[in-house]
Amino acid sequence: MREQREERPGLPRRAGAELLGTAVLVTAGCGSIVVDAQTRALTHLGVALTFGLVIFAMIAACGHLSGAHFNPAVTVAFAVTRHFPWREVPCYIGAQLVGASIGATILRLLVGTTAQLGATVPQGSPWQALGVEILLSAVLMFVIMAVATDPRAIGQTAALAIGATVALDALWGGPISGASMNPARSFGPALLAGAWQGHWVYWLGPFLGTCLGACLYQSLRNPFFKSSTSKAAAPGTHPGLPWSLGEAEQVQERAHQGQGSQK
């Protein structure tokens, strides 16, 4: 039990993984918008696929380190549904915002402020964009909850499923709202390019949407989850990515206390 706890990276290292992953997300994802604006080589399809592929790659690379949130709204939704400790939320969100700003800084140094560094700006009314962001974020978080917190899901498909969802959302929602689904992804380019028009949409929409999606999945899962936890495998053998670090820690503590009471 103690060995499993020692294998879990400390909060500074997990925050570092969040910073790095979010920086790569903004550099590659927003960079694809900049490149397409300059060359017209990628098209909207290429931009959407780039966002999906970079999420796929970074979840595979960092999922075992930090849970690979890369998104303040995802972190808060996990905390709301008790899959992540609230005490660690500020550190994760801070790392994500810094990472997004670093990614946007890299783009600005390389290309100037072309296409506002891929900043998200409502193409119609802010309220229309808000509705789209809520819907896109809810769908994304529903998928994340399914593949990353449910023992019945196939954990190896998590990165692929989440990356595909990001790409799908970007394909149809991008022309309307920019398909941010991520306050950090919107914050970095806005900060470096000074593009703050309708920026509130990209905080309120994702936070509402992810919490809605997480709670919806939780409500559908609970009747089955109660029976599955009674036969749960030993802590640390969850088939999904370790998004639920706070929950796993609580399970280990309860198991440890149970062993102590039997002695």
Question: Does a structural domain hold residue 205?
Answer: yes
pLDDT given at position 223? 59
235 vs 9, more confident = 9
Phi, psi of 114, rounded to the nearest 5 degrees: -55, 135
Condensed to tens digits (0 to 9), the pLDDT of residues 167-226 reads 999 999 999 999 999 999 999 999 999 999 999 999 999 999 999 999 999 999 875 445
pTM of the model: 0.84
Residue 103 resides in a domain:
yes
For residue 230, give every residue at least 6 positions away whose Cβ sits within 8 Å of its Cβ, in sequence order, or none.
none
Query: 33-48: per-residue pLDDT in tens?
Result: 999 999 999 999 999 9
Residue 262 domain-assigned (yes or no):
no
Q: CA 195 to CA 214: how far, in whole Å?
A: 30
**Is there a domain that residue 146 lies in?**
yes
User: Considering the domain boundaries, does residue 48 fall inside one?
Assistant: yes
pLDDT at 7: 73
Cα dihedral value 10, 15, 156, 47, nearest 10: -170
Interval 68-114: pLDDT, tens: 999 999 999 999 999 999 999 999 999 999 999 999 999 999 998 89
Least confident segment among 114-128, 153-167, 229-243: 229-243
In tens, the pLDDT along 112-132 reads 889 999 999 999 999 999 999
Q: Domain residues for 34?
A: 2-256
Written as one letter, the residue type at 5 is R
Residue 112 within a domain: yes
Q: Is residue 155 part of a domain?
A: yes
CATH no. for residue 230?
1.20.1080.10
What string of DSSP letters covers 183-224? HHHHHHHHHHHT--TTTTHHHHHHHHHHHHHHHHHHHHHHHH
Is residue 263 a part of any domain in this protein?
Answer: no
Number of structural domains found in the chain: 1
